[in-house]
Amino acid sequence: MSIRRTAPRSRPAAVPVRRTRPRPAPSRAPRPSIVPRLAAVLGSARFWWWCAAKLAALAVLAGSSALLYHFVTSPSFYVSDVTVEGNELLPTQEVVDAAAVSGSHILWLNPRLATQRLRALPTVRDAEVTLALPNRATLRVVERTPVAQWQVGGGTYLVDEEGRVLGPAGRHTPPTVVREGRPGPLQPGDRVPAEAVGAAVALAELLPAQWQPVTGVFDYSADVGISIATRNGWRVRFGDNEALATKVATFLALAEEIERVGARAQLVDVRFPGRPYYR
């Protein structure tokens, strides 16, 4: 009979057990009463400085609002004092109407736009609009300079060196007069040939007195340019304002030759200085 032996079973290792101590409950100190806390705040200088700053800010806000309301609604700030400077050709009221600042609140006016409206006038070369409290506006204009009178269609108009029509001839009438045969009328801002204006103005200075236009008027046509009628019955064509000094010198030499040989002439043409002729 055989006997079987079995190995003894090993015991599991013991699991360590940690013991925790119970935490004591936090102690709560009793809160102070609301009355002492309020008294401490009211007794603080910092609190009263804060209140003073808030009251000052409210006062400034209220004062600013009242001032702004007065500024916007008071009739004292509507433009009623308008001064116009520099105008001689334009009537003062026309400048005021064009600027469109009178009767408007000074807060809502834009001087740049008013200046643009003045510069749009045909007679005005430059302009400036300035505003000043409480109700003052100053309109300064620099007018174009008329250099000649232009007659067309029964009307006489002032024109500047660029040929811009400034308006009907009035008090300020330059001595040079140009007559055009086409029908009119002309309106301020229209253009006439600037080279014809320049030629007439220059010829009025370059020509000797005996060769000035017999009527005092320079004639203009699109195909011929500037021409004059002389006292001896000649019609002299000068064309445009190019090389006028040469043209005048050529004409004077040709006139002397015509008179020297005793030729009879009705037309003298010096529009082309290298090829003058007469007939």
| Assigned domain for 176 exists | yes
Predicted confidence (pLDDT) per residue in 101-136, tens digit:
999 999 889 999 999 999 999 999 999 999 999 999
Query: In CATH, what number is assigned to the domain containing residue 157?
Result: 3.40.50
- DSSP states of 58-112: HHHHHHHHHHHHHHHH-GGGB--EEEEES-SSS-HHHHHHHHT-TTSBTTT--HH
The answer to whether residue 37 sits within a structural domain is no
In this structure, are 262 and 159 located in the same domain?
A: yes
> Looking at the chain, how many residues does it have?
279
Domain assignment of residue 131, yes or no = yes
Q: What are phi and psi of 278, to 5 degrees?
A: -145, 160
- 139-189 pLDDT, tens digit per residue, is 999 999 999 999 998 899 999 999 999 999 987 789 999 999 988 799 999
Q: Which of 125, 143, 161 finishes a domain? A: 143
Residues 130 and 158 in one domain: no
Work out the pLDDT band at 7, boundaries 50, 70, 90. Answer: low
Same-domain pairing of 248 and 187:
yes
Same domain for 186 and 260 = yes
Give the CATH number of the domain where residue 136 resides. 3.10.20.310
Residue 11 DSSP code: P
Question: How many domains does the chain fold into?
Answer: 2
Q: Assess if residue 249 is contained within a domain.
A: yes
Residue 72 forms part of a structural domain: no
DSSP 211: G
Structure tokens belonging to residue 3: 């006997």
29 inside domain: no
DSSP string, 114-174: HHHHHHTSTTEEEEEEEEETTTEEEEEEEEPPP-EEEEETTEEEEE-TT-BEEEE--S---
- The last residue of one of the domains, among 104, 120, 143, is 143
Mark whether 173 and 238 lie in a shared domain.
yes
User: Tens digits of per-residue pLDDT, 187-229?
Assistant: 999 999 999 999 999 999 999 999 999 999 999 999 999 999 9
**Closest residue by Cα to residue 276 from 256, 253, 245, 260:** 253
Same domain as 169, residue 265: yes
Pairing of strands 148-152, 165-168: unpaired
Same domain membership, residue 272 and residue 169: yes
> Do 94 and 120 share a domain, yes or no?
yes
Containing structural domain, residue 220: 148-278
Question: What are the Cα distances from residue 30, in Å, to 18, 27, 33, 277?
Answer: 36, 9, 9, 128
Among 114, 143, 172, the domain boundary falls at: 143
Cα–Cα distance, 38 to 96 (Å, whole number): 68
**Cβ atoms of 228 and 219 closer than 8 Å:** yes
Together in a domain, 204 and 274: yes
pLDDT value for 5:
53
Rounded to an integer, what distance in angstroms lies between the CA atom of residue 207 and that of residue 248?
A: 7
| Same domain flag for 119 and 225 | no
Per-residue pLDDT, 59? 79
Give residue 2's pLDDT band: very low, low, confident or very high (50, 70, 90): very low
Same domain, 87 and 171: no
For residues 256 and 156, state if they share a domain.
Answer: yes
